[in-house]
Structure 1
Amino acid sequence: MLSTISVIALAIGLLCSLIITIDVLRHPQMMKIMNVVWPINGWFMGPVALWTYFKWGRLKSKDNDKEDKRGRPAKVFVSTSHCSAGCTLGDAVGVPIVALTGLTIAGSTLFAHYTVEFILAYLFGILFQFYAIFPMNKDLGKKGAVWAAIKADSLSLIAFEVGMFGWMAIVHFVLFQEPPKPNEATYWFMMQIAMILGFLTSYPANWVLVRKGIKEEM
């Protein structure tokens, strides 16, 4: 039963990602990195990402002529989506690395996943933030833009991983006698849920960063 639900959830996520990708190709975003962000969000947030993309994301397309009347909650949502996409990509890349190498830390595969995925999620997150900052602030220089990205997104990236890792710990130690493996649909369904929870734990951090002027609204 759970395997069937997992396949359906993953299929819905991929379909939403595909729909967003097609629309982004037709209506590219003003901020290029968002052309990557929105499809990634489609994979783990499914219909929610689809709805928010067409409601808020499309306002930032190059060919949009509608006035942007979004309030702060919507703008912080998009900022959190940007942060979450980088983390999601890093986590998704980290899983097969650990699985294929058989890496363990302190005898634990879970700790290996945590370590590799955190490093990659942080790097991808900062990279995504760099490409949000540098194109519009080239006077900072690349080093300055990297430092600005680190200041802008470190807290929110860590907050995302807290939610994501917390759920995967519950999956590993509580929900299953035998935790699902990366070659099973159930594992990736659990990862989808983990990304959603990561988004939720990252949203307050993004709100604080935006309110204090450390990070710009999107």
Structure 2
Amino acid sequence: MDILSIVAWIAIGIGLLSSVIILVDVIRYPQMMWIMNIVWPINGWFLGPYAVWSYFKWGRIKAKGIEKEDTRGFPSKVYFSTSHCASGCTLGDAVGVPIVVITGLTILGSTLFAHYAVQFTLAYIFGILFQFFAIYPMNKDAGVMKNFKDSIKADTLSLVLFEVGMFGWMALVHYVLFTTPPKPHQMTYWFMMQIAMIIGFLTSYPANWWLVKKGIKEQM
């Protein structure tokens, strides 16, 4: 096993452990906004210890049965919104990988382009659904369709920019960093995906800042 594979196993292990730590706590102290019970553990997978730290610092403020003053500033509220967006994208991207592998799908003879198409579609669907389940409970009187349209308006830009950052890294992995790109059955592949998610988070954060600042997207 080469050094990169060892690093990959360690990184994935830390990410999964971070997810488990958060999951155990949200089971004990569920979030007031139920979709965040899914969001926080997903973020643990790619943000690792930082997700654990941010959850216990900011996430628990919004847990049922815990009385804590909300001391979050604007940047941390945008972090909440970005985490919410990123988790939907991450879930869609992760689900998309085995679909492409099992079907053997290619686009223009490229497996990478197939991953782009399938993962973007699923990431967008999950991202919009996550946003819908965040805003619908607070605005049920407006109806399902109005909340669904608001979800598309609120999250489309940030979802697209998440995928832009992620796909850019995937292109580097596929065409520049490796002579033979890692495959989904290799842990190095999922380590590269972890990095892609982090980059996607960083590229979507400014969009979420702007969306929240303009009132297009609600503060979380």
Q: TM-score, normalised by structure 2?
A: 0.98
- State yes or no: 1:117 paired with 2:119: yes
- State yes or no: 1:51 paired with 2:50: no
Q: Which amino acid aligns with 1:168?
A: M
1:214 to partner: Cα distance? 0.3
1:124 to partner: Cα distance? 0.1
Name the CA distance, whole Å, in 2 between partners of 1:60 and 1:164: 29
- Tell me the residue number matched to 1:192: 194
Alignment of 1:123-142 (within 5 A): 123-142=125-144
Structure 1: gaps spanning 5 or more residues: none
- Tell me the residue number matched to 1:85: 87
Q: Which amino acid aligns with 1:91?
A: D
Name the CA distance, whole Å, in 2 between partners of 1:103 and 1:208: 37
Name the CA distance, whole Å, in 1 between partners of 2:142 and 2:164: 31
Q: Which amino acid aligns with 1:125?
A: G
Query: Which whole-Å deviations, capped at 9, do the CAs of 1:98-144 have from their partners, x for residues lacking one?
Result: 01111000000000000000000000000000000101100111111
Name the CA distance, whole Å, in 1 between partners of 2:142 and 2:180: 50
Alignment of 1:1-218 (within 5 A): 1-218=3-220
Consecutive aligned runs of 4 or more in structure 1 exceeding 3 Å deviation:
none
1:48 to partner: Cα distance? 0.6
Structure 2: gaps spanning 5 or more residues: none
What is the number of equivalent residue pairs in this alignment? 218
Name the CA distance, whole Å, in 1 between partners of 2:66 and 2:146: 31
Q: CA RMSD in A?
A: 0.4
Please state whether the residue corresponding to 2:87 is helix, strand or coil: helix
Name the CA distance, whole Å, in 2 between partners of 1:169 and 1:54: 34
* Amino-acid identity (%): 71
Name the CA distance, whole Å, in 2 between partners of 1:6 and 1:63: 38
